[in-house]
Amino acid sequence: MVERQASDPPGTTTEGIEPTVQTDPILSLQSRVGQEWPAIHEAHRRALETDGRLDKVLAGLPSTDAAIVVFGSLARREWTHSSDIDWTLLIDGQADPEHLGLAQKVAGRLESEGFPPPGRSGIFGSMTFSHDLVQKIGGREDTNENTTRRVLLIQESRAFGKPDAYTRTLKHIFSRYLKDDRGLRFGSLPSKVPRVLINDIIRYWRTVTVDFVDKQRGQAGHGWGLRNAKLRMSRKLIYATGMLTCFSCDMLISEEARQDLLKNHSTVGMEEHLLWFIHKTPLEILATFLVEREIKKETAMKLFSSYNAFLALLDDGDKRDRLKNLSLDEISTDTVFGEVRSIARTFQDGLTALFFYDDDKLRDLTIFYGVF
């Protein structure tokens, strides 16, 4: 079995820092169900190796008002064959003409190191300003691009270099979500789930699924198979674990933070809980709930065995290329896409059992906050 290292807290780097001693929830889950997931561990190991390369490549670039932030498979610790780096220069300070030059240096260094550029959407590979992420939550100015950057910053991101701007931005985002949520702070409901935050995560997921169809049409089906596989698995994973992160504010939060909210209407404890909780990768969040709530072993095996198979498939260069080049006319007969369908159905069965059947509390929160 490949040795794992627990994920670092938000804003930390790996260079010169000893890993924090933590209980790895995925290893705990493995021990509980009696299975191993080698593709998950190998992807994690490769991500840590890539972190080390990036630490050296990007050394000396960020400043106290800017941070280089990566998203996607690297941030999720799911680095496989042909993974690319989705990155942005996150700026939390006054506008400075030098910021553009800094972003160009980041792009140049990554290219010189042989990393593939971000996708063609334009969301990554340039600058992002914290003001938009914090101040434009909802409303006409909260564009798809802005929502995507904000939600992914919460759910699958990692900073390189000086983390000051990254950490400040996350704190301000959570402060906005929670302090503006009057139902959370002053409502009489016994459950305390941040509704504004979970609604934004749900909105993002629905937007992704609709945009998938738009890309299918606009790009004449090019890359459809690979995008479909990711939508069914990695995109659905961060949606599910985004909801679990919100539910953790009711199910896994400290009693001190809960009482501070109930008695003083203060969200500080919940903000700190969220900042701590999101240092976990999506798979670690999923494993945490499976272990802490003692979810059925069958459900845990469905979820992690299928995701292990998904990462193994992406790491197979021939299969990945087949999905990338698959035409819409070949979908019904293609064996590789048939494999994707089978994996995705098992994963969906596991999610359905987790959210609706195996845990009464989780089912009730899902129906109340996630459906109506």
Q: Which residue has the tokens 């738009």?
A: 214
Rounded CA-CA distance 323/341 in Å is: 12
* pLDDT for res 64: 81
In this predicted structure, which of 48-62, 308-322, 342-356 has the lowest mean pLDDT? 48-62
Tell me: the pLDDT tens digits for 213-232? 887 766 655 788 999 999 99
* pLDDT for res 2: 40
66-70 vs 87-91, strand pairing mode: antiparallel
CATH architecture of 35-146+159-180: 2-Layer Sandwich (3.30)
**How much is the average pLDDT of 324-334?**
91
**Quick one: what percent of the chain has pLDDT higher than 70?**
92
**How many CB atoms lie under 10 A from the CB of residue 247?**
24
* pLDDT for res 17: 27
CATH 3.30.460 domain range(s) in the chain:
35-146+159-180
In this predicted structure, which of 15-24, 176-185, 347-356 has the lowest mean pLDDT? 15-24
pLDDT higher for 193 or 221? 193
Q: In a 3-state reduction of DSSP, which class is residue 91?
A: strand
* pLDDT for res 10: 41
Entry pTM: 0.92
**How much is the average pLDDT of 311-331?**
94
Tell me: the pLDDT tens digits for 112-138? 999 988 877 778 999 999 999 999 999
Q: Is the pLDDT of residue 171 over 90?
A: yes
Rounded CA-CA distance 372/369 in Å is: 6
What is the rounded radius of gyration, in angstroms, for the C-alpha atoms of the chain?
20
* pLDDT for res 300: 99
